[in-house]
């Protein structure tokens, strides 16, 4: 048990520490695709460090909620990273929250950030909060439907059981997972504020979604949010890996498989970051009211995946 807890802590810490690296890698790849000279891989770390050292500038009217929200956001993301099987399966914390609870954790973090954005009462903050909630109310059911598809296959909403069923039991081809995977990709881009739903590098307030919410943050609060955003991307990537390409994740209690799991994780993450950067480089941001169509498509694909499961695999 204590070894399990150690593993749990280790995995969560690993996720927290590696998360900015994934972001750096994605930025680097994107710069290559766009023909720019790339920032170093460690750029996100440097930025977070710089932000931590600065003095926090906070609007006059900010309430305690505003200062509390970044910590809450970070804590939720750390918790999510603890739930998802990243390198090892069946860790001791996993029974405390299943896939549906994971959706709840993301929602909790998002609601706190949106509320904090409305706290100061600038027009951009409320605008960002409104847009973020718009995107999320369409993305969240789609994500749930993706989980439903995998849960129907594995007969469980526990992520470890899903991973074990898909990775370690008999190998079968599930057409429903193809639909679910595409839907998951679309949802992930929306939830992580990436192109085509949101542009993470924009400097134009009127087009912002996520960035508009955090306009008022600075210094350590911004550092925590940026770090948590990186962690969110990392967790979503790990989630995609766990659901759709789970091979290599170490089974419960198998310490010998950990180095292999680590290697597999790095390879898969690198591939995922490369793909994300490539897709971002070749596509443009959608108009805000095209986003419901985009996410509606994701939702339909996820539901189609579920129906495919009933028609073909049941």
Partner 1 sequence: MTDAIPVDPGFTPLVGAWWIVLLWLVLAFAGLALQRHPRLITHLLLPLGALGALGIALTGAAGLFAPAASLVLPIGLPDLPFHLRLDALSAFFLILLGGATFGVTVYAVGYLRHLESGPLALLSLWYHLFLAGMAMVMLADDAYAFMVAWELMALSSYFLVTTDHDRPDIRRAGFLYLLIAHVGAVSLLLCFGVLQGGGLIQAYSFDSIRAAELSPFWSSAAFLLALFGFGAKAGLVPLHVWLPEAHPAAPSPVSALMSGVMLKTAIYGLLRVSFDLIDVQASWWGILVLGLGLITALYGVIFAAVQSDMKRLLAWSSIENIGVILVGVGLTMIFHTDGKDALAALALTATLYHSINHAFFKGLLFIGTGAVLHATGTRLMGELGGVMRFMPWTAWLTLIGALAIAGLPPLNGFVSEWLLLQAFLLSPGLTQPYLNMVIPIAAASIALAAALAAYVMVKFFGVVFLGQPRDPNLKNGHEACWPQRIGMGWLALGCILLGLMPAQVIGWIAPTVQMLIGQTLHNDGGWLLLAPVDANRASYAPLIFFLVVLAVLLLTFMVVRRLYHGRIRRADPWDCGYPEQDARMQDSAEGFGQPIRQIFEAFMRVERETPDPFDRHPRYRGDSRDNIWLLCYAPIARLVAWLSDQGGRLQHGRIQWYLVYSFATLIFLLVFTR
**Minimum CB–partner distance for residue 77 and partner 1 (Å):** 9
Q: What long-range pairs does 281-284 form, CB within 8 A, spacing at least 24? A: 281/30, 281/33, 281/34, 282/33, 283/195, 283/196, 284/195, 284/196
Stretch 112-151: interaction string toward partner 1, x if CB under 8 A: --xx--xxxxxxx-xx-xxx-xx-xxx-xx--xx--x--x
Cβ neighbour number for residue 2 with a 10 Å cutoff? 7
Identify whether 196 is preceded by a cis peptide bond (ω within 30 of 0): yes
Provide the minimum distance between the beta carbon of 71 and partner 1 in the complex, in angstroms, as a whole number.
Answer: 5
**Shortest Cβ 232–partner 1 spacing (Å):** 15
Among 47, 79, 222, 264, contact with partner 1 (rule: CB under 8 A) = 79
Q: How many CB atoms lie within 10 A of CB 254?
A: 14
**How far apart are CB 291 and partner 1 at their closest, in Å?**
9
| 310 binding partner 1? (CB under 8 A) | yes
Q: Are 91 and 163 in contact (CB under 8 A)?
A: no
CB 74 within 8 A of CB 228: yes
Cβ atoms 14, 269 nearer than 8 A: no
Restricting to residues 193-212, name those near partner 1 by CB under 8 A.
205
Minimum gap (Å) between residue 267 Cβ and partner 1: 29
Total residues binding partner 1 (CB under 8 A): 77
Residue 78 found at the interface with partner 1 (CB under 8 A): yes
Q: Closer CB to partner 1, residue 29 or residue 81?
A: 81
Q: What angle do CA 105, 142, 247 make, to 5 degrees?
A: 75
Closest CB to partner 1 among residues 33, 68: 68
Binding window for partner 1 (CB under 8 A); candidates: 179-187, 190-198, 251-259, 300-308 = 300-308
Smallest gap from Cβ 44 to partner 1, in A, equals 17
Find the binding residues for partner 1 in span 43-62 (CB under 8 A).
Answer: 52-53, 55-61
C-alpha to C-alpha distance for 204 and 92, rounded to whole angstroms? 44
């Amino acid at each position: 048990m204590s070894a399990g807890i150690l593993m749990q802590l280790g995995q969560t810490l690993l996720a927290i520490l590696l998360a900015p690296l994934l972001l750096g890698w994605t930025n680097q790849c994107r710069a290559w695709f766009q023909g720019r000279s790339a920032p170093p891989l460690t750029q996100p770390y440097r930025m977070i460090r710089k932000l931590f050292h600065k003095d926090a500038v906070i609007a006059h009217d900010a309430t305690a909620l505003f200062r509390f929200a970044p910590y809450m956001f970070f804590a939720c993301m750390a918790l999510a990273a603890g739930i998802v099987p990243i390198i090892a399966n069946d860790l001791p914390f996993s029974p405390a929250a299943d896939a549906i609870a994971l959706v709840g954790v993301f929602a909790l973090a998002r609601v706190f950030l949106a509320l904090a954005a409305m706290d100061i009462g600038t027009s951009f903050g409320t605008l960002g909060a409104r847009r973020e909630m718009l995107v999320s109310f369409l993305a969240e059911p789609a994500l749930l439907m993706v989980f439903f598809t995998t849960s129907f296959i594995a007969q469980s909403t526990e992520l470890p059981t899903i991973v074990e069923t898909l990775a370690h039991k008999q190998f079968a081809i599930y057409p429903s997972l193809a639909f679910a995977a595409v839907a998951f990709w679309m949802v992930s881009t929306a939830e992580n504020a990436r192109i085509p739903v949101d542009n993470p590098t924009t400097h134009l307030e009127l087009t912002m979604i996520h960035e508009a919410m955090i306009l008022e943050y600075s210094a350590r609060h911004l550092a925590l949010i940026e770090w948590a955003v990186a962690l969110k991307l990392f967790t979503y990537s790990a989630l995609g890996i766990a659901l759709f390409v789970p091979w290599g994740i170490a089974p419960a209690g198998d310490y010998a498989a950990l180095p292999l799991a680590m290697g597999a994780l790095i390879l898969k993450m690198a591939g995922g970051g490369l793909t994300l950067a490539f897709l971002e480089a070749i596509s443009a941001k959608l108009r805000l009211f095209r986003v419901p169509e985009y996410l509606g498509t994701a939702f339909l694909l996820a539901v189609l995946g579920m129906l495919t499961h009933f028609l073909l695999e049941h």
